[in-house]
Amino acid sequence: MDISITKMSSKGQIVIPLEMRSNIKEGDKLVLIKNKNQIIMKKASEMDKSLAEDLEFARRTEEAYKRYEKGEFISMPADKFLEELKKW
């Protein structure tokens, strides 16, 4: 495992140390994934389709949860919900 240290500028920019960017070139898109105490960076071109789909699902789930917390969802009994599903 390679480890290196960098810092963030006042503009929110970071420099990827030379030894960490051997296969990254100017213009490459990078994906950043953040959880509680970690940030993972990966070249977008190396993401497989299922990971991209998983990230999109996670993004949509997070948006839905935020709407739920704001009270923007409709509450209904399970039997009525199942009837609504049949209409789809």
Quick one: 6 and 38 in the same domain?
yes
The tokens describing 6, both together, are 């960098």
pLDDT at 35: 81
Question: How many domains does the chain fold into?
Answer: 2
Binning the chain into helix, strand and coil, the percentages to the nearest 5 are 40, 15, 45
Using a cut of 0.95, tell me whether the model's pTM lies above it.
no
- Say if residue 35 is in the same domain as residue 68: no
Same domain, 38 and 52: no
> Within a 13 Å sphere around the CA of 26, how many CA atoms are in the beta-carbon half?
0
- Residues 40, 71, single domain; the answer is no
Looking at the fold, whether 9 and 33 belong to one and the same domain comes out as yes
Residues 69 and 87 both lie in one domain: yes
Looking at the structure, do residues 26 and 53 belong to the same domain, yes or no? no
Quote the domain boundaries for residue 55.
Answer: 48-88
Average pLDDT for consecutive 10-residue bins of the chain (88 residues)?
88 92 90 84 79 83 89 88 89
